[in-house]
């Protein structure tokens, strides 16, 4: 099964101070076999910025190294078409959904991904299925 990985999951995995840290680690161990993890270049950029802001550059570099070294996540590079679709979703969305989330939704629709690994309720509200709900 293909799973989209959101910034909230990456941050929870990387930060021991995050409220979802242990849950994310436990969940990743369950999912690592038999699932294909996918994210976008925008999620990588957002995660790097968040980690650098909250944990310093070394935290961001550690995350980047884990992506490059591990090859456990496929990164979808956002095309102009997906960027513009994200803009359209962002403009029409009245909730406090981030632009990066809107681009993620566009990418997930485009690549027929319906499941996500993360802790952001906006994904479920947009119709995607959480792999961590109810645990």
CB–CB of 113/3 below 8 Å? Answer: yes
What span, in angstroms and rounded, lies between the C-alpha atoms of 29 and 25? 6
Q: Is pLDDT of 134 > 80? A: no
Phi, psi at 115, each rounded to 5°: -110, 145
How buried is 17 (Cβ within 10 angstroms: 0-12 exposed, 13-18 middle, 19+ buried)?
exposed
Phi, psi at 91, each rounded to 5°: -65, -35
State which H helix or E strand residue 76 sits in. Answer: strand 73-76
Q: Comparing C-alpha atoms, which of 10, 74, 22 is closest to residue 46?
A: 10
What span, in angstroms and rounded, lies between the C-alpha atoms of 26 and 20? 10
For residue 133, name the pLDDT band (cuts at 50, 70, 90). Answer: confident
Q: What average pLDDT does the segment 25-31 reach?
A: 93
pLDDT single digits (tens) 91-122: 998 788 999 999 999 999 999 999 999 999 99
What span, in angstroms and rounded, lies between the C-alpha atoms of 98 and 30? 29
For residue 15, name the pLDDT band (cuts at 50, 70, 90). Answer: very high
pLDDT single digits (tens) 79-93: 999 999 999 999 998
Q: Is pLDDT of 70 > 60? A: yes
Q: What average pLDDT does the segment 23-37 reach?
A: 93
- pLDDT, residue 93, reads 83
**Percent of the chain residues topping a pLDDT of 90:** 87
- pLDDT, residue 135, reads 52
The side-by-side arrangement of strands in the sheet containing 36-40 is 73-76, 36-40, 2-5, 115-117, 129-130
**Percent of the chain residues topping a pLDDT of 70:** 99
């Amino acid at each position: 099964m293909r799973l989209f990985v959101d910034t909230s999951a990456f941050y929870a995995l990387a930060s021991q101070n995050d409220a979802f840290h242990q849950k994310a680690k436990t969940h990743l161990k369950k999912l690592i076999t038999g699932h294909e993890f996918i994210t976008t270049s925008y999620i990588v950029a957002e995660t790097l910025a968040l980690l650098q802001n909250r944990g310093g550059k070394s935290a961001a570099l550690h995350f980047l190294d884990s992506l490059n070294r591990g090859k456990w996540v496929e990164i979808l590079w956002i095309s102009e078409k997906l960027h513009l679709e994200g803009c359209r979703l962002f403009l029409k969305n009245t909730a406090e959904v981030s632009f990066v989330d809107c681009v993620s939704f566009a990418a997930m629709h485009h690549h027929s991904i319906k499941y996500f690994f993360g802790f952001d309720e906006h994904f479920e509200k947009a119709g995607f299925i959480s792999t961590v709900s109810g645990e």
